[in-house]
């Protein structure tokens, strides 16, 4: 079985010391950079935009996993490709023509991800799962870091895993929100492939050790 991956969420980094925090992730055992882009419309918060992503990708040496929490994401697919995104995840709830959006992301040479809000049923991916490289299951309501994990997520992982197997798809399951050392083992055992962790990593005293421990318990 392939390793479970850890993706620190830069939303929880110290923006006044971004270069330092990016180097920390580079030097750590983390696998990906998780980058949250919020527009203040799809979610009730604004994070950061293109110039900041450009500054991040200039220093980041690992996979850039961009999570778009914006309306009408099709407008910016090429922009995010040009800025160095490797994975581009759009929200199911923000896409009227999801199939077209997925093809457009892949046409720009990126992996295509779809995020589902906590209220959105797995069944909505029945007809697109074979076109999706990654499903990001929101385990909090998107918009803010530091929220509590929603326990129902475990049921959704099971349902999603069953769908992926039934359809013979190769989709990765990513969990985003409230991930800590308390739930990482259970999430990995239930079927998560990628764990996003923001506050748990960046608010900890030794961030590199926290990443190392999280990765090791997810793979235990
Ligand atoms: C929430 C974001 C998450 C967030 C996770 O809308 O999509 O990626 O940064 O933060 P924590 O790990 O603090 O819940
Ligand atoms: Zn995210």
Q: Splitting the chain (220 residues) into consecutive groups of 10 residues, what average pLDDT does each group show?
A: 94 98 98 98 98 98 98 98 98 98 98 99 98 99 98 98 98 98 98 98 98 98
Q: Which domain holds residue 110?
A: 5-218
Beta-strand pair 87-91/172-176: unpaired
User: How many structural domains compose the chain?
Assistant: 1
Q: Which ligand is nearest to the CA of 13?
A: 1
The answer to whether 34 and 133 have CB atoms below 8 angstroms apart is: no
pTM score: 0.98
Active-site annotation holder among 21, 31, 36, 193: 36
β partners of residue 36: 67
Give yes or no: 36 in active site.
yes
Q: What is the pLDDT of residue 152?
A: 98
Buried b (16+ CB within 10 A) or exposed e, 115-132: bbbeebebeebeebbebb
Q: What is the pLDDT of residue 2?
A: 87
Q: What is the pLDDT of residue 1?
A: 67
**DSSP output for 85-102:** -SEEEEEGGG-SSHHHHH
- What are 25-74's pLDDT values in tens digits? 999 999 999 999 999 999 999 999 999 999 999 999 999 999 999 999 99
The answer to whether 115 and 67 have CB atoms below 8 angstroms apart is: yes
Atom of ligand 1 nearest to the CA of 136: 7
The answer to whether 53 and 22 have CB atoms below 8 angstroms apart is: no
CATH number at residue 63: 3.20.20.70
User: Which of 118, 143, 147 maximizes ligand 1 atoms within 8 Å of its Cβ, making it the mutation to test the pocket?
Assistant: 147
Q: Which two tokens stand for residue 220?
A: 């235990």
C-alpha to C-alpha distance for 81 and 213, rounded to whole angstroms: 32
**Of 94, 31, 42, 40, which Cα lies nearest the Cα of 65?**
31
CA of 6 from ligand 1 middle (Å) equals 13
Atom of ligand 1 nearest to the CA of 198: 12
Active-site annotation holder among 65, 131, 133, 176: 176
């Amino acid at each position: 079985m392939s390793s479970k991956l850890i993706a620190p969420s830069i939303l929880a980094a110290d923006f006044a010391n971004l270069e330092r925090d990016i180097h920390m992730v580079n030097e750590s055992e983390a696998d990906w950079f998780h980058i949250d882009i919020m527009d203040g419309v799809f979610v009730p918060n604004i994070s950061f935009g293109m110039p900041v992503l450009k500054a991040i990708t200039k220093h980041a040496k690992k996979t850039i996993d961009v999570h778009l929490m914006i309306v009408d994401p099709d407008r910016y697919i090429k922009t995010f490709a040009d800025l160095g995104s490797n994975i581009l995840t759009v929200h199911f709830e923000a896409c009227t023509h999801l199939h077209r959006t997925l093809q457009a992301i892949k046409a720009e040479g990126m992996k295509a991800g779809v995020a589902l809000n906590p209220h959105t049923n797995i069944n909505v991916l029945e007809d697109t799962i074979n076109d999706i490289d990654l499903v990001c299951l929101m385990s909090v309501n998107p918009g803010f870091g530091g929220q509590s994990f929603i326990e129902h997520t475990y049921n959704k992982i099971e349902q999603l895993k069953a769908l992926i197997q039934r359809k013979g798809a190769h989709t990765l399951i990513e969990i985003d929100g409230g991930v800590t050392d308390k739930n990482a083992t259970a999430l990995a055992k239930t079927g998560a492939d990628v764990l996003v962790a923001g506050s748990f990593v960046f608010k900890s005293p030794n961030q590199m050790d926290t990443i190392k421990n999280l990765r090791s318990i997810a793979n235990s």
